[in-house]
Amino acid sequence: MLMLLLMLSTGCNLSFPGCGKRTSSSINNTPPVPNTMPAATVSSNASAPAVLKSAPPATSPAKPLAASTIIPTPVPVDVEKIAYTTLENGKPTLWTMDTNGTNRLRLTSVGSSSWNPLWSPNGKTLAFLSDINDGKVNLYVAQKGSTLLTQLTSWDDMAVPDPSVLASTFTWSPKSDQIAYAYKNQIWVVELDNQEQTTLVTVDPAYSIAAVQWAPHRENKFIAYTVRKGQNYYSVMLSNPRLKDQLTLVNSTKPVPAISWSPDAVNVAYLSGAKALYLTSIEVTNPKMILSTAGPQFGTLLAFNPSDSGTKILVFSKKNQTESGYRLAVLDQLPKSDKDIPTLKFLTEPGVDSATWSPDGNKVAYVTNGELWVTDVVNGNSKTRIALTGIQSPDWSRK
């Protein structure tokens, strides 16, 4: 009896022979521990993530610092928000605001960099990349209206996003409970509730994954992604997170800078170089070119209207070769037959850097010369400036 009490007091698990405390992490693969911190900068002596080659390790929670001097007033979360970054001391800092430019809330501190804010489909959570923890780029989330950040990944060598490429390297699941993200030649899926991570796709180590987008319908489990093979050879592929299979939709000898799912989750649109816009799906053998240009070129923006009934596609384009910057343009209707000749409707003057649809698909927020404007997509005549300077990468949430 004395021996039994001694074993229990030292933490022995009686289901195992011998002494010494056993934990589940010694048997199973433990998911990474969430790294939760306030928006203030993480201290330099916080535990650094280990170097990874196959899977993110468990992470020591970063040491929280005191909140910043100015405490923002709590804002309602059942309103539409625009997330964006703005350069401060040369680095992009993350903010949110109401769609009229009020109730601005800083999420990351000056001195760190954050990129690619992306709202969840249900509008409740914001995902983004940041180097707020010891200068290492990783994936984070924050709840709408909150400055509390949760670190989802713990890589030491995740790439800094290319500011000239608008396509995101991570994507939300339709249920807003998972995020798929690209890491070098792999796609990983992370669960939001417990940060458990699994590998979905692995391609040749000589290749890289450039863009990732989950199909928008809950019953459609496909993730579309692009694989870059050298300088000018790309593939557009699909994977099913449940089956972990891979299906090639397109092999292209030209760069594919952007992809976008149709709102019914049937088709995938993609840009082929800077001269053509194609449509493909799992049901066709040959992609269909729906728009091409011999002179003016497309930019790197490509986004289907998010409304269930929408067929419009948002792009960047130039009217002629003399224009130095891109205009925001909309393809109003997909061609119904080979005889249809679709045309672009230009909404702005040249100089647009980034843009995002409103959740209902009736408006577009766009950035020109650092100013954030909102316009309708009927004719682009009704324009409202809602922010003055330094705006980058806007993304519009649902309520």
pLDDT tens, N- to C-terminus, the chain (399 residues): 434 333 434 444 433 333 333 232 322 333 344 455 544 433 333 333 333 333 343 333 333 323 333 344 455 568 999 999 999 999 999 999 999 999 999 999 999 999 999 999 999 999 999 999 999 999 999 999 999 999 999 999 999 988 778 889 999 999 999 999 999 999 999 999 999 999 999 999 999 998 999 999 877 789 999 999 887 789 999 999 888 889 999 999 999 999 999 999 999 999 998 889 999 998 888 999 988 876 778 999 999 999 877 679 999 999 888 898 999 999 988 877 777 777 889 999 999 999 999 999 999 999 999 999 999 987 777 899 998 888 999 999 999
Q: What was the pLDDT predicted at 339?
A: 72
- What is the distance between the alpha carbons of residues 24 and 284, in angstroms, rounded to a whole number? 47
Residue 202 located in a structural domain: yes
Residue 72 located in a structural domain: no
Residue 127 located in a structural domain: no
Residue 269 located in a structural domain: yes
Domain CATH code at residue 194: 2.130.10.10
Model's pTM, two decimal places? Answer: 0.81
Q: Which among 249, 259, 351, 345 is positioned nearest to 304, based on CA atoms?
A: 259
Q: What was the pLDDT predicted at 147?
A: 95
Residue 112 located in a structural domain: no
- What is the distance between the alpha carbons of residues 157 and 308, in angstroms, rounded to a whole number? 38
C-alpha separations of 7 from 17, 18, 94, 323 in Å: 11, 9, 52, 79
Residue 149 located in a structural domain: no
Burial class (CB in 10 A: 0-12, 13-18, 19+), 28: exposed
Residue 199 located in a structural domain: yes
Structural domains of the chain, count? 1
Q: What was the pLDDT predicted at 18?
A: 35
Residue 340 located in a structural domain: no
Give the residue numbers spanning the domain of 250: 167-309+317-326
Q: What was the pLDDT predicted at 336?
A: 73
